[in-house]
Structure formats: C-alpha cells, structure tokens
Structure 1
Amino acid sequence: MLRGLYDWTLSLAARKSAEWWLAVIAFVESSVFLVPADVLYLPMALSRPDRAYRYALIATVASVLGGVAGWFIGHYAYETIAVPILQFYGKYDEFEALRTSSGIGFIILMLITSGAAHLPPIKVVTILSGVIGVNLVLFIGLAIVARGARFLLLAWLLRRYGEQIKDFIEKRLGMIAGAAAVALILLYIVVKWVF
C-alpha cells in the first residue's frame, strides 16, 4: 500500500496541475498524510529548475498552513480526530509518552527537527503542539523557518547541481538531516540537564 501511495504521489509531478498537487500534498503531509511533499517536489524541481524556488515557496506555504490545521486538530479536536489518526499510523502510544513528558522547549526543538528532517514526522509534532498549547504565532514562525529552510535548501541544491544531486538527496540527505536533528536534540538535553 505504501509503495503504491508513493508511486501515485510521484506520478503527480508530470501533470499540468502539479503545482496544485504539490500544495495539496504539502498541506496534508503536515497534519495527516504519510508521504512527504519531497516526493513530488524533487521531480518537479528537476524537470523545471528555473521554477525550483517557486515550488519551494508553494510547498512551504502549504506545509505551514497544513501545520496550522494540525495544530487546530490537536488543540480543538484531539479526541475526535487526532487520536484516530495517531492510532491509524500506530503512533498513539509514542504520542502519549511525548505529550506527558514534553515541555514547550522540547516541542519547539521537535518542530524544527521534524520540519527539517522528518524526525519525528511533522504531523505528530503539529498535533502535539496544539494539544499542549504551543503559542500559535510562535508555532507558525517556527514552521515557516523549518519547512522553508528545507524546501529552499533543496531548491538551491537542485539549481546548483541539477540531476547529479538527485541521488544524493534521495539517499543521503535524510540521513544527514537526521544526524543534525539528533545532534540538536542531544544539545538540548545537555543544556537542559547541565545548566
């Protein structure tokens, strides 16, 4: 099922309506969808490098709006909408552990790392941010920075290196971003416990 969903998302890049699909996928990725918008963004930007930044802007705006939708789901509809979504993805127990043990600082760090490296998935963090009541203006600002940085970095890499960077991005960028996310989390833990 997951492979079919991935292939379907990738096929949208060839359509004339690809920009609209990119916005839709980026929006729902931030609150309920399993496949990241990168799957659609990368082939679009590779086929039209002159529009890479335009696509990055579309993906960023839609992703932030989807994150706001996730925040509202968590804040106003946790039991009726968020719990079934989390149970569907098998993330409910992890989510509850995070909810009961996380402070606002850790949520902010997770928002940045999930926006940049999908660790943890952005939908979990947006819903959790609403549940624990992260200030909505702060949430939007951090989401713009995290998601914008990701898509703009991809745009810059694709414009600068073109097709040869595609394999690197698909195979190693997640690992590098993941390592950076782990380093940020460890830094947060050290600062919190030592100081």
Structure 2
Amino acid sequence: MNIVRRLYDWVLSWAATPYGAAALFVLAFFESSFFPIPPDPLLIALILGARAKAFRFAAVCSVASVSGALLGYAIGHYSWWTLSGDFTALAQFFFNTVPGFTVEKFAMVQGLFETWNFWIIFTAGFTPLPYKVFTIAGGAFDISLVPFILASLVGRSARFFLVAWLIWRFGAQITTFIDKYFNLLAVLFTVLLIGGFVVLKMV
C-alpha cells in the first residue's frame, strides 16, 4: 500500500471520532498549500454520519480551505524566490516532494494568471485542478490579494456546499455519483460559466 493510500485511509478514520470536524478543518487548511489528500472524502464521510450538520461541515471546510490558501500565498510571496530570482530550497522541496508540483506546471500557471486572473483561481478552487499550486503561485507571482481571496472563497465554497447539498438531499446513494462524475461535471460547469462570460464580453 503506497503512502498516499495510507494517508487517505488515515484521513477517513477521523470521521469515526469525536474530532472529525476539527480534523476536517486541519485537513482543508493544509491541503490548500501542501497536503496531498483533498478534504472531500472526509467531508462526505462526516455528512453521511450526521446529515443535519451537512452545511456546517461545508462551512468549516470552506473557511479552513480559504485560510489555508492564504498560507500558500504567503509561502509563494515570501519564501519562493531567492534575491537573484532563482527557486529557494523550500521551492525545490515542494517540486521534489509534493504531488502535483512541477516546475513546468508552475510556469504554466503564471501564463494562466496573466490571461484569466480571477477566473483561474475560481476554477482551481472548484475543479480537480491542484489548488495548492495556484495558491502558492498566486503569492509567487504577486497576484492581487483581494481578488485572490474572493475567487478562492467563491470557488471553494461552491465546491464544498454543492457536495454537502447533494448528500443532504439524496443521501448515501449519491456518493457513487460524486466519486465517478463530480469532478467531470465541475470542469464542464466551469468551462460553460467562463465561456458564457467570454461570449458576453465579446458581444
């Protein structure tokens, strides 16, 4: 069993303890900058155990994730570049250790920020894109902080509250659908949303 699978099982184990909500906060916070397991599995498990608290858990997850995004932003802003403009030892550690981080992806994200700004942060927050890459890149490339926070809040909240609503409304039977199709539908929804605004802007 690889380390990611062990981490996944460890994350889910918190759902059966009295500390599930606290664990959800910590997980969502650190997933925004370096932790490899997204908070969705624990969020789903907690809601299945207490559907009446579905939206409370979603709120905890959203607040923690956006707070963690600020940590990622600070890492990028203060600890990513040397004075000569090279990657620091910390940046090299992320590239070599954290899943989803590569020099190539990081360079690509810079171009996405320059083109899409608010929308790419929203997309990273709502879809399966590696959100942590975008939070750190936001600080490293000195993205304006207020739009960064707003886009993160909208994207992360939309994702977690949608998951919460689906389970609150449909119960355990919806979890298979979420596992198989949620990320695909999130991407399609985002493409349509952004595409609609681009069309309106061109008209």
TM-score normalised by L of structure 1: 0.88
Partner of 1:122: 131
In structure 1, the partner of 2:76 is 74
Q: Secondary structure at the match of 1:142?
A: helix
Distance 2:146 2:107 in 1: 25
**Quick one: which of 10, 13, 21 aligns to 1:11?**
13
Task: Output the CA distance in 1 between the equivalents of 2:92 and 2:191.
Answer: 27
The residue that corresponds to 1:144 in the other structure is 153
- Counterpart-to-counterpart distance in 2, 1:168 and 1:10: 19
Residue segments in structure 1 that go unaligned for 5+ positions in a row? none
Which residue number in structure 1 is paired with residue 27 of structure 2? 25
Distance 1:44 1:77, change over 3 A: same
Counterpart in the other structure of 2:170: 161
Cα distance change on mapping 1:102 and 1:157 into 2, 3 Å: closer
Distance (whole Å) between structure 1 residues aligned to residue 36 and residue 29 of structure 2:
12
Q: If each structure's helix is expressed as a fraction of its own residues, which one has the higher value?
A: 1
Match of 2:105 in 1: 95
**Matches of 1:56 and 1:99 in 2, distance apart?**
27
Judging changes above 3 Å, is the alpha-carbon distance between structure 1 residues 165 and 90 closer, same or farther for their aligned structure 2 residues?
closer
Q: Distance in 1 between matches of 2:54 and 2:132?
A: 24
Q: Match of 2:119?
A: 109
C-alpha contact (below 8 Å) 2:100/2:133 kept by paired residues: no
CA distance in 2, matches of 1:7, 1:169: 18
Amino acid at match of 1:73: I
Q: Deviations over 1:130-186 (max 9, x none)?
A: 11111112111111100011111111111111111111111110121133345567x
Q: TM-score w.r.t. structure 2 length?
A: 0.85
Instruction: Output the amino acid matched with 1:169.
Output: I
2:60 equivalent to 1:50: no
1:84 to 85, 93, 98: 93
Residues 126, 156 of structure 2: 8 Å contact kept = yes
Root mean square deviation, CA, Å: 2.1
Alignment match, 1:178: 187
Q: How many residues align?
A: 190
Answer with 1 or 2: which has the greater Rg.
2
Residues 1:127 and 1:172: Cα distance change in structure 2 (over 3 Å): same
